[in-house]
Structure 1
Amino acid sequence: MEFKAGDRVHVTRLNTNEVDFYATLKDYNDGHPFILSNCSDGRFECCSVFKPNTGEVGLNRWDYYVLAEDEEDTEEPVVQHTTDPVNHPDHYNYGEIEIIDFIDQVSEHYNPVVAVHIANAIKYLSRAPHKNGKEDIEKARWYIERAYQKWSD
């Protein structure tokens, strides 16, 4: 079966995990892979899926999706936004960027003693407009000064 950008699909396997949601296929990077949009489950918005011709699509493979055929499947999706204050708090997310992932990437370039202070500074700077405002900026400043002091240690 040929799939093309704009097709509405029922996704039942994504990244080897069993799932159940509907999405619209969108081209990415000269057609490989597809990106999911208008997902009925917002957690999967902008995820990528393999195209069938890659050999990674099938019931027991990486991804599996079929064309949405009945009327229920093709209705506009209801995007579900979930709030998880422990694992994914809103004040540590910027659009599709989760601050913890950014912190991991930045802090790996510092020695471990300094990295912890840089990580905390980023955390407080990123959440300030959404949580404690100027108090968080002050905390970030304290951690930056601490990183500066520990730089030579």
Structure 2
Amino acid sequence: MKVRCINSIPIVGINENNIYEVLEEYPTLYMILNDGNLPVSLSKSRFEVVKESLDDNVNHPSHYTHGKYECIDILQDITSDLQGLDAICTANAVKYLWRWKHKNGVEDLKKAVWYINRLIEENSKGV
């Protein structure tokens, strides 16, 4: 089960609107992993249950919606003045850096590096 924080506690690494996987549920508490991947038990009143559906995984996957902003919005903003391969490589590098901790770990970091190296290679031609 997943829950969304509605009342943040930054000191323990729980932030408003972030979605957390419930490790264990107790009558009045949820045990979750905080933003630093440490287990914490907190009152259920600080969270709302997130209804999981295919639509959520297609339109707003949790590995792209953690934090204050959704990844797609950031990608649109940072590539607005770029074109072609510059836009593609920049967007992909940021996408993999955005989600690495919430999806594929080091594999996503390696993918980000690949796109950054490609961007450097393409922009170094003729320099």
TM-score (norm 2): 0.54
Higher relative helix content? 2
Pairing 1:82–2:51 present: yes
**Partner Cα distance (1:89, 1:101) in 2:** 13
Q: Which residue is equivalent to 1:106? A: 78
CA-based RMSD: 2.6
Aligned position for 2:88? 116
Show the counterpart of 1:62.
none
Query: Hey, what's the Cα distance between the residues in 2 that align with 1:110 and 1:90?
Result: 27
Q: Residues 85-137 of structure 1, C-alpha deviation per residue, up to 9 Å, x if partnerless?
A: 11100001122310010000001122322110110001111110011111100
- Equivalent position of 1:150 in the other structure: 122
Show structure 2 runs of 5+ residues with no match.
1-5, 8-16, 18-44
Q: Identify unmatched segments of 5+ residues in structure 1.
A: 1-36, 39-44, 46-75
Map Cα deviations across residues 38-63 of structure 1 (whole Å, 9 max, x no partner): 9xxxxxx8xxxxxxxxxxxxxxxxxx
**Residue identity in the other structure for 1:95:** G
SS in 2 for 1:96: coil
The share of aligned pairs that are identical, in percent, is 41
How far does residue 148 in structure 1 lie from its aligned partner after superposition?
1.3
The whole-number CA distance in structure 1 between the counterparts of 2:81 and 2:121 is: 17
Q: Which residue of 1 aligns with 2:27?
A: none
Q: Distance in 2 between matches of 1:140 and 1:122?
A: 7
The answer on 1:140 being equivalent to 2:112 is: yes
